[in-house]
A and B are shown apart, each in its own frame.
Chain A
Amino acid sequence: MQFPNLMPIAATDAAVRWNSLYNFLLGISVFFFVLVIGAMILFIIKYRAREGAKTFYFRDHHFLEACFIAIPTILLLGIFGWGYSVYNSMMRPPADALEIHVIGKQWLWQFQYDNGRTTIGNLYVPLNKPVKLIMTSQDVIHDFFIPNFRVKSDVVPGMYTSVWFEARVPGEHQVFCGMYCGTSHSQMLAKLVVLNDQQWAEFQRGKKIGPQPDARLNLAAEDTTADPSEAQAATIEPVSLATQGRAVFETKGCVSCHSAGDPTHGGANIGPSLAGIFGKNAALQDGQTIRRDESYLRQVIEQPQSHLLKGYQQSVMPTFKGLISETEMNSLIAYIKSLK
C-alpha cells in the first residue's frame, strides 16, 4: 500500500487556479493555528501555577481587541474576493462550449451527445476544448463531481444545472455521485474520458472507444491502436441529437400547433413559432420577462400554464409532464435550440 497523494491532479486551468487559492488558505490556516495554539502552549509553560507567583491584572485592551476584529476582517474579505473570482470563472462557460447532456438516475449516469450518441458510465470529451454539461435527474437529487477538475454540481430532477471545464490531461478521470441518493449511492460512479483530437473525431463518427489510461498515471496522450471491428462501426453515421428531437417534435404532436421556421414541417400557427427563440427573452402574460434557457423550455413543455406568454389568455397547449422522457426532452430542447 502506497501513501496516497494529498490532492487529486489538477487537470484543468481552473483546477490549477483552484489549487493556488487552496494552498493560500492552507498556509494562512497553519499560520493562525500555530499562532493560537503556539501562544496557548507558551502560556501554559510560562505561566503554570507556581508558589507565590503574581498574576497580571487586566480586563480589556481596546487596541488589541480592535486588531482582533480588523485583521481577520481584512483577510477574510480578501479570501472571499479571491474565492468569488475563481468561482465566477468556473460558472461562466465560453459561448462556443460543446454541450453534452447528463442524466442521473438511481444509480447510473447517462450521457447524450450532439451527434446523437448515448453512453452510460463513460463520458467522452475532447481534449483542450471547453465542454458544458447540461444535467438533470430522472428521480432524486444526485451530484456530478469530478475531483480532478475541482467541479461539482447537484443534479436535480425537474431542472437543469450545469458545470463546464476544459480538460488538459487526456485519459480517464474519476467521477463520483456527491449527493446521497440511496442504496447504491457509493457505486454511482462514472469515468470521464478525455480524448485527443483523433480519438474524438473517431468517437464523433460513432466508433467505440476502448479503455483509456488512468489520467493520474499517464499524463502523456497515447494512441490506442484501433480494433478492426471497431473501424467497421465507424462507418455508421449516428443520427444527431437535434434530428432525434425533430422526430419527437412530430410524434408528440408539437408540430400540429407550432411552426418551426422549417418549410418541410408545415406552418401550423395555433401556438407561436419556435424558430430562433432560444436565448431570447420571452414576455409573459403577467408582465414579467424571462430568458429562454433550457430550464425555461423544459418548464413550458411540462407545464405550459406556468409561463403563459403575453397575448394568450389561456394556454391551449397540453401539459406534457410525465409524457416525455428525459432523453426525449434533451433531444427536443436540442432541436428547438437548433432552429434558426
Chain B
Amino acid sequence: MSNATTAAHGDNYLNHEKGLWSWLSTVDHKRIGLMYMATVLTYFLIGGIFALLIRLELLHPTQTIMDANTYNRMFTYHGAIMVFLVVVPAIPTTLGNFLLPMMLGAKDVAFPKLNLASYYVYLAGGLFATASLFLRGADTGWTFYTPYSIRTSGTVILVLTGAFIAGFSSILTGLNFIITIHKLRAPGLTWSRLPLFVWATYATSIIQILATPVLAITLALLVMERVLRIGIFDPAIGGDPVLFQHFFWFYSHPAVYIMILPAFGVVSEVIPVFSRKPIFGYKAIAYSSFAIALIAFIVWGHHMFVSGESEFAAFLFSLITMFVAVPTGVKVFSWVGTMYGGSIRFNAPMLYAFGFLELFTVGGLTGVFLATLAVNVHLTETYFVVAHFHYVMVGGTLMALLAGMHFWFPKMFGKMYSESCARVAWFLILVGFNVTFFPQFILGAQGMPRRYWSYLPEFTLLNQISTVGSWLIAAGFLFTAFYLIKALISGEKAPSNPWNALTLDWQTPSPPPHDNFPVTPIVTDWPYEYRPDGAIVPIQGAAPLPA
C-alpha cells in the first residue's frame, strides 16, 4: 500500500479551506457530515456514561451508588439522548451526509445551506435537552408518558423543547436527501443502479418527513398541557392520558425504522464488497425498505397492548406487526445469500457486519415474541423489552454505524487504521454486548420490570452479569476511540479504493477533493458487478484515478 498515493494534487476537502470558521460555516456536505459525527459521538459518550452509571447502580438489589430520584433521571437522559440525539440521526446525518452526494456522483446535496442549517438546528436541540441536566433535570423516561410527565417537577419542558427542535433537523435533512436523490444523480445512474445505501436513505427520509411532525405536535401539546393546563392529556382536567401514547408511538414506532433502515443500507454495501459477489436480491432488498417504511406507520398500537386498548385494536395491531417481520427476514436471508459462494475477507467492516447479523437476528426474533398478543402481555414493560430494543437499536444500528465508520474511514480521512486493533475492539464490543443484554431477556421473562431502581434479590446474579458486560462494551469503545484517533494522527496513507469497491464514492481520491469528483462520472452499470475471476473492471465510468 505504501506507494499508493492519495490526493495527488494535494487539495482535498479537509485542507481546501483552513481554520475553525471555515468548518463552522462550511456548506460542504462532507464537512457537515464530519461535524455531525463529532457531535453525535459526543452525545454518544454522554449517553454511554449514563448507561454505565445505570448498570453500576443495578449491581446490587438496593442502593449501590445513587438514590432513586437520581437513577430515574439517569435512565431518562440515557434514553432521550441515545434515541433523539444519537441513534435516530447517527447514520443519516454522518454517513448519509458524507456519502449520499458521492454515491450519486454529485457535488453536494440539493440545498447545501439548508444542510448546514439542519446541523445547527440539531445542535440547538441537543443543547436545550442537555442544558436541563444542569438544572433540576427530568425524570419522565424518554417516553414522557402522561399524566406523570405533566405532574412531575423538574425541567421537563427543556427536554421536550430539545427533542422538538431536533425533530426539525430530521425533517429538513429528510427533505434535502429526497430532493438530492431525485435531482442530482449522475448521468446513467438510473433507479435500478442506485446503491442500496441510497435506497435505504430514501425510505428513511420519507419516514422522517411524515412521522416527525407528529412528534413535534405531540411534544408541543404536552408543553401546553404543562404550562396552560388545556386538558388534553391529564384526566384530572378532562384529558385522556392514553391519547398521548397513541400520538407518541405514531412517531416513535416509525422512528424505530428511521434508526434501522440506514443500518440495513450500510450492511448492504459492506457485505458484497467483502464477499466479492453481487448483492443477492437487489430488488428485494430495495423494495423491502419501502414495505417496512409503509407498514411502520400502522403498527404503533403494539406498544399499547396492555394500556386498555380494545381487543379489536390489539387484534389488528398484532396482525399487521407480524408483517414487518417478512421484509426484514427477506433482507437477512439476502445478506447471508450474498456470502454464499463468495470470497470472504475479514476486514473490520465485515466483522461488524457479522456482528450486526448476529445481534439483529436475535433482536428481530425476539420482536416476534413481543408482537404475539398473549406473549406480549407478560413480557411488555419488563427487561425483555429492554433487551429486545437494545439488540435491535444498538446491535443493529450501532454495529452498522461501526461497520460504516470502519468502511469509509479511509475515504473520509485518507488514513488507514490498525486492523489488528480493530479486531480486538470488535471482539470486546460484540462479546460485551451479548453479556450485557442477553441476561436481560431472562430477567424479563422472569418478570423483572424495567425502570426499577431496586429489585428483588433473586434477580441479582443476572443483573451483575449484565453490569460486567457493560464494562466490556466500554472497554471496546475506549479502545476503538484510541486506535481511530491514532490512525488520524499517524495512520498509513489510504489508497483511493482500499477495498476495491464499485460504488461511485470509491471512484475518487481519498480524501475526496472539495467538489467530490474531478470529472462528473458517467455510470454504465450497477454497483455490485463483482466478477467470478475477481477482476476489477472500472465499470462505473469515473474519471481516471491517480496512480
Residues of A within 8 A of B (CB): 1, 3-8, 17-18, 21-22, 25, 29, 32-33, 36-37, 39-40, 43-44, 47-50, 53-61, 64-65, 68-69, 72-73, 76-77, 79-80, 82-84, 86-88, 90-91, 139-141, 143, 145, 147, 150-154, 156-159, 161, 174, 176-187, 303, 321-322
Contacts and interface: CB of A to CB of B under 8 A. Distances in A.
B374 A141 contact: no
B342 A55 contact: yes
A22 B372 CA distance: 10
Contacts of A5: 446
A43 B340 contact: yes
Interface stretch (B169-177, B409-417, B457-465): B457-465
A70 B167 CA distance: 37
Contact of B446 (A6, A64, A182): A6
B451 to A, nearest CB: 4
Contacts of A48: 343-346
B66 interface: no
A318 to B, nearest CB: 16
B446 A145 contact: no
A56 B381 contact: no
Given A40-B339, A182-B72, A152 B238 contact: no
Contacts of B147: 139-141, 157
Given A76-B325, A183-B68, A4 B458 contact: yes
A39 B344 CA distance: 14
Contacts of B346: 48
B84 interface: no
A43 B333 CA distance: 13
B15 interface: no
Interface stretch (B26-34, B355-363, B420-428): B355-363
25 contacts: A36-B333, A39-B340, A47-B339, A48-B344, A49-B343, A56-B340, A57-B277, A65-B330, A68-B284, A79-B372, A80-B318, A83-B376, A87-B311, A87-B377, A140-B151, A152-B306, A152-B381, A154-B307, A154-B308, A177-B449, A180-B451, A182-B139, A183-B69, A186-B452, A186-B453
A80 B322 contact: yes
A182 B459 CA distance: 21
B314 interface: yes
A176 B452 CA distance: 10
Nearest to A184: B68
A39 B280 CA distance: 15
Contacts of A159: 235, 242, 308
B447 A8 contact: yes
Given A49-B343, A145-B449, A154-B307, A40 B354 contact: yes
Given A47-B339, A185-B452, A79 B306 contact: no
Contacts of B148: 140-141, 180-182
Contacts of A157: 147, 235-236, 241
B532 interface: yes
B375 A83 contact: yes
Contact of A47 (B139, B279, B342, B361): B342
Contacts of A50: 343
A39 B336 contact: yes
Contacts of B537: none
B216 to A, nearest CB: 23
A47 B326 contact: no
A49 B273 CA distance: 12
A33 B362 contact: yes
Interface residues of B, number: 96
B482 interface: no
B372 A80 contact: yes
A56 B277 contact: yes
B534 A55 contact: yes
Interface string B208-238: 0000000000000000000000000001101
Contact of B451 (A25, A37, A57, A185): A185
Given A36-B361, A87-B374, A186-B455, A179 B341 contact: no
A3 B372 CA distance: 28
Interface string B427-443: 00000000000000010
Contact of A21 (B277, B341, B374): B374
Given A6-B446, A87-B311, A154-B306, 18 more contacts: A1-B461, A4-B458, A6-B442, A25-B372, A40-B339, A48-B344, A55-B532, A60-B282, A80-B372, A86-B373, A141-B148, A145-B447, A147-B447, A174-B456, A178-B306, A180-B145, A185-B68, A186-B68
B427 to A, nearest CB: 15
B365 interface: yes
Nearest to A145: B449
A48 B446 CA distance: 41
B141 interface: yes
Contacts of B488: none
Contacts of A186: 68, 449, 451-455
Given A68-B333, A80-B322, A181-B148, A156 B375 contact: no
B188 interface: no
B281 interface: yes
A94 B374 CA distance: 18
B544 interface: no
Given A4-B446, A87-B374, A154-B306, A54 B242 contact: no
Nearest to A30: B365
A152 B460 contact: no
Nearest to A156: B308
B508 to A, nearest CB: 26
B311 A91 contact: yes
B368 A25 contact: yes
A176 B442 contact: no
B323 interface: yes
Contacts of A57: 277-278, 530-532
Contacts of B530: 55, 57
B319 interface: yes
Given A49-B344, A176-B449, A153 B306 contact: yes
